Amino acid sequence: MAGVPMDQREGWIWFDGEFVPWKDAKIHVLTHGLHYASSVFEGERAYGGEIFKLREHTNRLIQSGKTLDFTIPYSADQIDQACRDVLAKNGLTDGYIRPVAWRGSEELSVPARNNTVHLAIAAWVWPSYFTIEERLKGIRLEWSKWKRPSPETIPSSAKAAGLYMICTLSKDAAMANGYADALMLDYRGYVAEATGANVFFIKGKDIVTPTPDCFLNGITRQTLIDLARRNGYTVTERHMKPEELSNFDECFLTGTAAEVTPVSEIGEYRFKPAEACRTLIDAYTAEVQPKLAAAE
């Protein structure tokens, strides 16, 4: 499916309670979610037919909608089952699942309390891009010119579509400059996150990760904190100034798509992926793919 436009793929999408052919899953051009970003979504991953931490993702989706002042018209149980059904309907055991909820097209103005809330769920193949050896080379990041805003100005706890505009701008600029991604600071000048992943820094058995008080506290991030502690690492969540990066030896990103991705460079700072990165990659793989790990 590589290279096929997202709207031209084969398969099925769950749309407001029914399966529709992939190419027919359409909305009107005057949809409120398109014009005013009244949309929330999730990124989930299935391994061996099981969606990792599905209920946590579903709960966050529902809460994100409430943060944007709308209620998704399905229960957590219904959304969980729909995600599983989408995976099965498309014949997938390993894949990426994307639920998205948005306000519809009854009215088009800033207020939208009379607009219907819709929910769609799609799933497709999303393999790991690198072998362990390739991943341990680390990816290169540049500094973004955009900053994560204050939580007084945006609903930073929600996985809301509008919050990703500066992520797109940052990543596109980084890739144009030959980098894989960009690292963002927050409105205070503290280290925040990459464009779609959280960041961790390592020195020996000590790991430091920025406090998520103005950006998303990722589910994969929470998983890695737990795994690191279970593997004998001390994890500290705190505010970090960018100049502190020179104190660390290893660095990695976490996210549903990124999983655990080592970093070799952030602007002027250099890191060498080593034992800690390998240990946590292996620990995460065992956590999300227990059947595969047991077979090995």
Shortest CA distance to 52 belongs to which of 292, 291, 287?
287
**pLDDT category of residue 291 using cuts at 50, 70 and 90:** low
Mean pLDDT of 19-25: 97
pLDDT at 126: 83
Q: Is the pLDDT of residue 293 over 90?
A: no
Give me the chain's average pLDDT, please: 94
Judge contact between 117 and 102, C-beta under 8 A.
Answer: yes
pLDDT at 130: 59
pLDDT at 294: 45
- Judged by average pLDDT, the poorest of 28-37, 119-128, 186-195 is 119-128
**pLDDT category of residue 131 using cuts at 50, 70 and 90:** low
pLDDT at 90: 98
Mean pLDDT of 173-196: 97
pLDDT at 296: 44
CATH of 6-124, one of 3.40.50.1100, 3.30.43.10, 3.30.470.10, 3.30.1600.10: 3.30.470.10
Shortest CA distance to 90 belongs to which of 14, 151, 28?
14
pLDDT at 290: 66
pLDDT at 108: 94
Mean pLDDT of 105-121: 95
- C-alpha span between 275 and 67 (Å, rounded): 40
Judge contact between 96 and 45, C-beta under 8 A.
Answer: yes
The position carrying tokens 């909608």 is: 65
What H or E segment, with its residue span, contains residue 56?
Answer: helix 54-67
Q: Which two tokens stand for residue 29?
A: 């051009």
Judge contact between 67 and 160, C-beta under 8 A.
Answer: yes
Mean pLDDT of 278-285: 96
> Cα separations (Å) of 258 from 25, 179, 263, 281?
27, 15, 11, 11
pLDDT at 140: 96
Q: Is the pLDDT of residue 20 over 60?
A: yes
Shortest CA distance to 287 belongs to which of 223, 225, 197?
223
Which one of the listed residues 159, 171, 272, 291 is annotated catalytic?
159
- C-alpha span between 72 and 227 (Å, rounded): 32
SS3 10: coil
| DSSP type of residue 160 | B
Q: Where are the domains of the chain?
A: 6-124, 132-292
**pLDDT category of residue 221 using cuts at 50, 70 and 90:** very high
> Cα separations (Å) of 10 from 27, 28, 37, 91?
18, 21, 27, 12
Q: Give the type of residue at 75.
A: S
What H or E segment, with its residue span, contains residue 269?
Answer: strand 269-270
**Is 159 a catalytic site residue?**
yes
Q: Which two tokens stand for residue 41?
A: 């979504």
**pLDDT category of residue 1 using cuts at 50, 70 and 90:** low
Share of the chain above pLDDT 90, in %: 91
Q: Is the pLDDT of residue 276 over 90?
A: yes
Mean pLDDT of 216-226: 98
Q: Is the pLDDT of residue 38 over 80?
A: yes
CATH of 132-292, one of 3.40.1390.10, 3.20.10.10, 3.50.30.50, 3.20.20.150: 3.20.10.10
Q: Is the pLDDT of residue 7 over 50?
A: yes
Q: Is the pLDDT of residue 232 over 70?
A: yes
Handedness of CA 255, 259, 260, 261 (dihedral sign): negative
**pLDDT category of residue 114 using cuts at 50, 70 and 90:** very high
Verdict on whether the full-model pTM lies above 0.85: yes
